Amino acid sequence: MRNQDLEKQLTTPSKNSRLEKFGKSITFFCLVLIVFIVAMILIFVAQKGLSTFFVDGVNPITFLFGSKWDPSSGSFGALPMILGSFIVTILSALIATPIAIGAAVFMTEISPKYGAKILQPAIELLTGIPSVVYGFIGLQVIVPFTRLIFGGTGFGILSGVCVLFVMILPTVTFMTIDSLKAVPRHYKEASLAMGATRWQTIWRVILNAARPGIFTAVIFGMARAFGEALAIQMVVGNSAVVPSSLTTPAATLTSVLTMGIGNTVMGTVQNNVLWSLALVLLIMSLGFNMLVKFITRERKRNYAR
């Protein structure tokens, strides 16, 4: 009897093992649920977006490279919005990147104490401001200022860039700070031991070693700017024409989507072309994510060396 009881105790799962199996089941269910949701979103947007070409017969080349957007008259050229999105995204990233790197270097290498007390709370405050507030400030401050300096209506790519660069600044800054802190300490110590100055160490050693992480931060900021809708819609002018200058009204993929999706009937060609714009936006967002994955992989390889 004792041997049987001992064998039963050894073969019966303990309470901790049952809890462990339950935890594994819950986490696996969450993983499957997330993958299912993402897959359904991709399938739904792809189905709606491709209906423009396979059901309504719109030429994909004309859609992607056409310069006239007027769905009511049968013109479906998405090039103005694609160019507008890329121009606004790239320019805002170019302006935000040096400012973010400077702030990150100050907070990590120059004056961590005052950076943590003064600069970090200010950047965190920028992160918590809703996008509609950014858009309203841009509408009331940046647009009149642009009108005063450059003339015209004040609405355009320049106003959108000014709003977006402030919006993506916290993202790029905080990710750059993490990249600088991830640089091995012995890199800095070796550089100083060889006689390099403080600035030479920062410029040639620390920033160079953190370069993949900084690129990742910039790409995340660009993805944030590329997908922004409400703030950019309020200041860009929403004119679906190929941008001729930074001060003329333009349009982006997100601004056209937010303005037009509620004014069309589901299933019509006017509605399907908007879903096609959403598909282009989704593909570009996936492209940004894949680029981040590639850079992160290269960064791990460099640190492993």
HEC letters along 101-153: HHHHHHHHHHCHHHHHHHHHHHHHHHHHCCHHHHHHHHHHHHHHHHHHHHCCC
Taking the C-alpha atoms of residue 70 and residue 187, their distance in angstroms, rounded to an integer, is 57
Please say if the pLDDT value at position 302 is more than 70.
no
Which of 225-229, 261-265, 271-275 is least confident?
261-265
Residue 66: exposed, middle, or buried by beta-carbon count in 10 A (0-12, 13-18, 19+)?
middle
Asked whether 247 and 146 are in contact (CB, 8 A), the reply is yes
Per-residue confidence (pLDDT) for residue 29, from 0 to 100: 92
Q: Single out the residue of 280, 225, 231 nearest to residue 253, CA to CA.
A: 280
Per-residue confidence (pLDDT) for residue 19, from 0 to 100: 78
Which of 7-16, 125-134, 263-272 is least confident?
7-16
pLDDT digits (tens, 9 = 90+) for 45-66: 999 889 888 888 888 898 888 8
Per-residue confidence (pLDDT) for residue 92, from 0 to 100: 93
Mean pLDDT score of the chain: 85
Q: At 296, list the tokens.
A: 């992160």
Per-residue confidence (pLDDT) for residue 4, from 0 to 100: 57
Please say if the pLDDT value at position 260 is more than 60.
yes
pTM exceeds 0.75, yes or no = yes
More confident residue, 270 or 7: 270
Residue 100 has a CB neighbour count (10 Å cut-off) of: 27
Q: Single out the residue of 183, 174, 237 nearest to residue 210, CA to CA.
A: 183
Q: Give me Rg for the CA atoms of the chain.
A: 26
Asked whether 255 and 78 are in contact (CB, 8 A), the reply is no
pLDDT digits (tens, 9 = 90+) for 139-183: 999 999 999 988 888 899 999 999 999 999 998 999 999 889 888
Taking the C-alpha atoms of residue 240 and residue 2, their distance in angstroms, rounded to an integer, is 84
Asked whether 247 and 236 are in contact (CB, 8 A), the reply is no
Alpha helix ranges (H) inside the chain: 2-11, 15-54, 60-65, 79-105, 112-114, 120-128, 131-137, 143-150, 157-181, 185-193, 198-200, 207-209, 211-226, 230-235, 253-260, 269-304
Q: In DSSP terms, which residues pair with 250 in a beta bridge?
A: 237
**Percent of the chain whose pLDDT exceeds 90:** 24
Taking the C-alpha atoms of residue 107 and residue 121, their distance in angstroms, rounded to an integer, is 12
Per-residue confidence (pLDDT) for residue 75, from 0 to 100: 85
Per-residue confidence (pLDDT) for residue 10, from 0 to 100: 53
| Helix (H/G/I), strand (E/B), else coil: 245 | coil
Q: At 81, list the tokens.
A: 């919005």
Per-residue confidence (pLDDT) for residue 141, from 0 to 100: 92
Per-residue confidence (pLDDT) for residue 36, from 0 to 100: 95
Taking the C-alpha atoms of residue 207 and residue 202, their distance in angstroms, rounded to an integer, is 6
Taking the C-alpha atoms of residue 86 and residue 233, their distance in angstroms, rounded to an integer, is 15
Asked whether 264 and 182 are in contact (CB, 8 A), the reply is no
